[in-house]
Amino acid sequence: MKRVIYIFLIIFLVLLFLKACIRKDIPEQKPANTQNINQRTEFTYPKRAKTITLNGIDYLQSQAPVGNFGGEVILSIFGEGPKTFNPFTSKDATSSQMAGMMFDGLFTTDAKTGEVIPKLAKSYEIKGNNYYVYLRKGIKWSDGKAITADDVIFTWQDIIFAGLGNTSLRDSCMIEGKLPVITKVDDYTVKFTLSRPFAPFLRQLSAEIAPKHAFENAVKKGAKYFDGFYSTTTPPDKFVTSGAFKLKEYIPAQRIVFVKNPDYYEVNTKNEKLPYLNKVVYLIVGDANNEILKFEAKEIDLISLKGSNVAIYKQKEPSSDYKIYNLGPDTGTMFIVLNLNNRKNPDGKYYVQPEKQFWFKDKNFRYAIDYAIDRDNMVQNIANGLAEPLFTAESLNSIFLNENIKGHKRDIDVSREYLTQSGFFYNKNGKLFDKYGNNVEFDLYTNAGNIERESLGVMVKQDLEDLGMKVNFKPIEFNTLVNKMVNTLDWDMILMGLTGSPLEPHNGKNVWNSYGSLHLFNQRLEKTSFDDRLDFEKELDEIFDKASLETNFEARKALYNKYQQIVYDEKPIIYLYSPTRIVAVRKKIKNIYPSMLNGVMYNIEEIYVDK
């Protein structure tokens, strides 16, 4: 959809408008009519679901109000749609979200407290370094076969720990180079034995479980075959799933349709099988402009609001058919990352040109960029005041946030002083050169079609051009961007965001570990040697290893405070701002309990439509 010509025209006009308007000689805009919008919505959550046994089946019983059966909810996603429906090969948020509709894990997260609570599991025990997980008896896959310990062992041993698909979870489960050992106790009991106490492990058991009988043949055929298994071209009736909904239809660039799983293992307080909804539809809207048009036309039931749209929707709310919810700071982070890689590719060429290596690996250069960025301007002009400047690697709602990192205002004079300290100089036209006489010019990428990131990119380009740098801003297709980031490594600077967990920094280990799959600022395609690590990379490796083995919260927080301080001091990644997450939901949608931890539709099996 992003390839349609009129979308490009809209983006082009937006970028021209921003470049013309967001100048320092224009008075700072103030957010209009945002009174009461910045106040987080408070909710009274229903009691936590509990296990009940009916006719030998261990159901999960929802404690939410009993609703109406039938109807549908229509939601939206950006971009071109999912790349796969396989939860184990997914490397993007949309694919993970779609797979999550169909596959459950052993555990999930309590929307109010953030605690780990049972899902496919009925209960668990921790005895020393042994984690005993007790499965629900009698529950089934969508094809009627029983969900047992064999499925759990197969998933973790033959898929995750074997390194098939996305290896991020396997890598984050490593304890001093060792993986947990999985043992079948009986058909409904699994034991995970760890070499040492490992604080993040229970939360990691929230990963989806695969049906052994459906996945086993694909695993036997090897990694290449597995990467294409349960793809977007797989007929919907071939999927064997455990979630509340099953795939009914996928039309690329148009929509994804899920229908209820009639044999799901959750019931309401009347012991009627959930989910309530017959259908959940995701329209692939391409970008934020299309999403707004479809919400206005009542073609979708939920929209995330940004910037000036919030005030407009808030004014209309009393006479509208929707309700606005403020979920607080976004759980993700928005940033620019510099490519510090000084290695050569297999053809013997440097991934990053030598003169750019000199710039990017110079801490003074990175500090100059950091001080040149006008985060307050971004907050006012992009988010219309509904955001906060961000300086930390943890999101503002993280329980591990380092509150001592206060950040700073934009100061172009400080930026120039840092550049001068490293020998950079200006010619008579104000262009910046390094001490070897190279004109400072580099590329800045982001994913095309994301209006927020494209707008931020225009502002970053302008801020850095105030320093005499020439910045070539290049929004490109998302898959092309991902390929540059983690495969070809031929990029200079990227503006992007990552989802995060406000409850567990270890989930981001693949970003900070020297050999992590998302160690973007110094990506290594092979584990050739530890000798090429930068000093602060070594510190981050040690901190994340140590923090994962520390079970005392305060001791863990001290370690994660240190990692955030190192990232702030070294600035391989420079953070921009944290938007406030605000959504509008049709009033007809009931059992909505939005959570800053889990979002809005996390309890999709309990949600119903008021008739």
User: Could you report the per-residue pLDDT of 215-240, keeping only the tens digit for each?
Assistant: 999 999 999 999 999 999 999 999 99
pLDDT digits (tens, 9 = 90+) for 260-276: 999 999 999 999 999 99
- Give 312's Cβ-side CA count (13 Å radius): 8
Provide the CATH number for the domain around residue 264.
3.90.76.10
Asked, for residue 29, whether it belongs to a domain, the answer is no
Provide the CATH number for the domain around residue 534.
3.10.105.10
Counting every residue written for the chain, the total comes to 611
| H helical segments located in 341-410 | 354-360, 363-372, 375-381
Same domain for 88 and 198? yes
Asked, for residue 360, whether it belongs to a domain, the answer is yes
Asked, for residue 534, whether it belongs to a domain, the answer is yes
Q: What's at 365, amino acid-wise?
A: F
pLDDT of residue 318: 95
Same domain for 499 and 465? yes
Asked, for residue 228, whether it belongs to a domain, the answer is yes
Asked, for residue 552, whether it belongs to a domain, the answer is yes
pLDDT digits (tens, 9 = 90+) for 370-390: 999 999 999 999 888 889 999
Residue 271 CA: distances (Å) to CA of 60, 474, 605: 10, 55, 14
Q: Please choose, from the candidates 73, 585, 580, the residue with its C-alpha nearest in 3D space to the C-alpha of residue 302.
A: 585
Find out whether the peptide bond into 87 is cis, omega within 30 degrees of 0.
Answer: no
Residue 550 has pLDDT above 80, yes or no: yes
Instruction: Report the alpha-carbon angle 584-18-291, nearest 5.
Output: 25
Asked, for residue 325, whether it belongs to a domain, the answer is no
Contacts of 296-300 spanning 24+ positions with Cβ under 8 A: 299/74, 300/74, 300/75, 300/76
Q: How many structural domains compose the chain? A: 2
Domain limits for position 426? 331-580
Same domain for 481 and 559? yes
Residue 102 has pLDDT above 60, yes or no: yes
When pLDDT is cut at 50, 70 and 90, the band that residue 15 belongs to is: very low
pLDDT of residue 332: 86
When pLDDT is cut at 50, 70 and 90, the band that residue 528 belongs to is: low
Contacts of 336 by beta carbon, 8 Å cutoff, 6+ apart = 369, 373, 444, 460, 493, 494, 495, 573, 574, 576
Q: For residue 244, give both structure tokens.
A: 């509340």
When pLDDT is cut at 50, 70 and 90, the band that residue 530 belongs to is: low
Residue 29 has pLDDT above 70, yes or no: no
Same domain for 598 and 575? no
Same domain for 255 and 111? yes
Q: Please choose, from the candidates 199, 181, 170, the residue with its C-alpha nearest in 3D space to the C-alpha of residue 510.
A: 170
pLDDT of residue 527: 66
- DSSP class of residue 245? E
Asked, for residue 205, whether it belongs to a domain, the answer is yes
